Amino acid sequence: MSALGGGSAGGEGINPQASVIAFVIILVSVGIAFVVYPAALIPLIGIIVGGVLISFGVHFVPVGGAPAAMGQAPGIATGVAMLAAGGGLAGLFGGAWAAEMGIWVALGAGAMGGGLLMAITCLMVNVVYVYAMGIPAASGKVDKDPITGDTYDGYRSKGTEGHGLPFISYVGGVIGGLLAGAGGTLIYLELLSVYQEALPSFLGMTPEGMQTLAVSLAGIFAVGMFLVAAVLTAYNITGTIEGPHDPKFKRWPRAVIGSSAACAACGLVAILLVVI
């Protein structure tokens, strides 16, 4: 029981009432955007898709939190939103750099930026566990790795739920980085397109003069929306997750619905900021 008298665990099911409210928020946000500034309709839908990618991607990231820092549980020894933000924002950096190359190249560059951060970080986590701490990787949620077929029975040290990053968790981390990087980049690109079009007419500036302002606004809103989607997802995960093989992974539809609604509302505010 929580302090408010509700259930203590979130469970895995979808709350129909909350989902309907989320869909209403999405529809209202899209409707307002269409009425106020019709050209922002497609960008707002892109922002919502970006939020979905981030939220879904974060579920793949193997996060062990404090228990992982003592080798008591598998995963990366930091917070869900923290790590996802690191990967996703590295992706945003790459995607923004490639923005001039077109949306698909930029999305690919953003995805690779996030995936690269996760690939290197996950490798160094295992290097520290194996060579500095003498601990092999072992999952606590499955007895056999779904990809390599390695068995973990006997590789978990006494009194722990496993440790390190088994290969399935490593792959999950990379997939999470790819999706989160692409999602963050998509939000940035959509906002940038709105600002580049709207700022000159609404503020009376030349397109060259407002480029820095457009990039800054789009970048900071993309970072903000990334954190909104990632933190909402972290609440859905509640603590730690090993990756796609973890039973908690099945909770993703709930977080995706919540993040869509949150990104729709935030995206609307980000668009209204320059068109009203």
Window 223-252: residues binding another protein (CB under 8 A): 223
Q: Pick the piece of the chain touching another protein (CB under 8 A) from 14-22, 46-54, 91-99, 259-267.
A: 91-99
Is 157 a residue that touches another protein (CB under 8 A)?
yes
What's the min distance (Å) between Cβ of 246 and another protein? Answer: 18
Contact 169, 75 (CB under 8 A): yes
Is 123 a residue that touches another protein (CB under 8 A)?
yes
Q: Which is nearer to another protein, 72 or 260 (CB)?
A: 72
For residue 21 the two structure tokens come to: 């409210």
**CA 20, CA 71: separation in Å to the nearest integer?**
41
In the region spanning residues 192 to 221, those forming contacts with another protein, defined by CB under 8 A, are 211-212, 215-216, 219-220
Is 117 a residue that touches another protein (CB under 8 A)?
yes
Contact 58, 176 (CB under 8 A): yes
Q: Which is nearer to another protein, 98 or 266 (CB)?
A: 98
**CA 180, CA 153: separation in Å to the nearest integer?**
32
Q: Pick the piece of the chain touching another protein (CB under 8 A) from 22-30, 148-156, 256-264, 268-276.
A: 148-156
Task: Please report the DSSP string for 119-171 in residue order.
Answer: HHHHHHHHHIIIIIT----B-SS-SB-TTT--B-TTTSPTTSS-BS--HHHHH
CB atoms within 10 A of CB 208: 8
Q: Which of 18, 21, 124, 203 binds another protein (CB under 8 A)?
A: 124
Total binding residues toward another protein, as defined by CB under 8 A: 83
Q: Which of 59, 163, 245, 251 binds another protein (CB under 8 A)?
A: 163
**CA 173, CA 165: separation in Å to the nearest integer?**
10
Is 134 a residue that touches another protein (CB under 8 A)?
yes
Is 137 a residue that touches another protein (CB under 8 A)?
yes
The site map against another protein for 70-89 (x = CB under 8 A) is: xxx---xxxx--xx-xxx-x
Sign, Cα dihedral of 15, 21, 25, 26: positive
